[in-house]
Amino acid sequence: MLSLVNIWGPCPRDGYRYVFPDDGYLVHAWAYTDWVAAAKQHLQVNNKEIPPTLEADMQHQFCLTLDPGYCLYDDDNRPRPNMSLEWNDVAGGLKTFGRWIAQGMKYVTQAEAERRAAICSRCYLNVNVQGCAMCQKAVKEVIGEKHTKCDPVLKTCAVCKCFLRAKVHFPIDILRSERQTSQQELFPDFCWLKEGGENYRDNDR
C-alpha cells in the first residue's frame, strides 16, 4: 500500500482528504492528526467499529491523488536487489534498444507513459544506481524530447537497472523478453511490469 513519506511535514495542497467507501462521507482536515481523529469520530457517531487498518487505508486512498514525492509504496519484506550496474545489465539494455529499433522505434501513448511514471515515482525500487554514464547519454538520445510529469523523481529500476525516464515510453512487447522469471519475482505486485499484477496492461497502445 501507499503511505505518506512524512505525516509531520507540510500539509499537502487542499488539505488531507478521505472518502469512506461505504457511505461516501468526506473527511477533510488541515493537520494529519485532526484528519485521523475526524475519521474515527465519524465511525463512532455512526456506531461503526474502527478498523485497525483505518490510517493505512486513508493514506493509501489519499496518496493516489497526490503529486510524486509525497508517498511511497513500502514493504518491510521487500526483496533487496543488487544495486550496482553490471555488464549483463548493460548488454540487456542494448538488446532492448536493438529490438526497439528493429520494430520501428515506436513509443506508448503519453497517457500510458504518465501512468507508468506515476507508479514508478512511488516505488521503493526507484533508486540511484551508479555506473555507465554513456548509457545515460544514449538513453537521452533515444527518448529525445519525450518527458513525463514525474521525470524529476524518476531514477533507475533496482530490478532491471533500466533508466525509468526512458523505460516508461517503451512498448510492453519490447520489454517482455527481458523480464526473466527472476525479475518477475522481484517486481512488486503494484508494478506495471508485474504480469498478473493490479497495474499490468498487456496492450499498452
Mode of pairing for the β-strands spanning 156-157 and 126-127 = antiparallel
CA quadruple 151, 157, 162, 165: dihedral, nearest 10: -10
CA distance 111 to 198: 18
The predicted pLDDT at position 188 comes to 87
Q: Is the pLDDT reported for residue 86 higher than 90? A: no
Does residue 53 sit within a domain? yes
The C-alpha cell of 73 is what? 509504496
Q: Is the pLDDT reported for residue 23 higher than 90? A: yes
On whether both 91 and 182 belong to a single domain, the answer is yes
Does residue 142 sit within a domain? yes
Beta bridge partners of 16: 29
Q: Is the pLDDT reported for residue 129 higher than 80? A: no
Angle between helices 32-45 and 54-63 (to 10 degrees): 120
Query: Of the ranges 12-21, 49-58, 67-76, 87-96, which one carries the lowest mean pLDDT score?
Result: 87-96
User: 90 vs 97, which has greater pLDDT?
Assistant: 97
70's torsion region: left (phi>0), alpha (psi -120 to 50) or beta?
Answer: alpha
**Structure confidence at residue 186 as a pLDDT band (50, 70, 90):** confident
User: What is the share, in percent, of the chain residues with pLDDT greater than 90?
Assistant: 32
The predicted pLDDT at position 11 comes to 86
User: 37 vs 138, which has greater pLDDT?
Assistant: 37
On whether both 103 and 174 belong to a single domain, the answer is yes
CA distance 158 to 191: 12
On whether both 130 and 165 belong to a single domain, the answer is yes
On whether both 97 and 167 belong to a single domain, the answer is yes
pTM of the model: 0.62
User: 16 vs 181, which has greater pLDDT?
Assistant: 16
Q: Is the pLDDT reported for residue 87 higher than 50? A: no
Does residue 203 sit within a domain? no
Does residue 95 sit within a domain? yes
Give the domain range for residue 19.
2-66
On whether both 179 and 106 belong to a single domain, the answer is yes
**Structure confidence at residue 107 as a pLDDT band (50, 70, 90):** confident
Task: Please count the structural domains in the chain.
Answer: 2
- Which of 91, 20, 85, 86 has its CA nearest to residue 50? 20
The predicted pLDDT at position 44 comes to 95
On whether both 101 and 170 belong to a single domain, the answer is yes
Q: Is the pLDDT reported for residue 74 higher than 80? A: no
Average pLDDT, the chain: 80
The predicted pLDDT at position 88 comes to 56
CB atoms within 10 A of CB 5: 13
DSSP code string of 140-154: HHHHTT---TTGGG-
Q: Report CA torsion sign: 175, 189, 10, 26.
A: positive
The predicted pLDDT at position 102 comes to 55
On whether both 171 and 109 belong to a single domain, the answer is yes
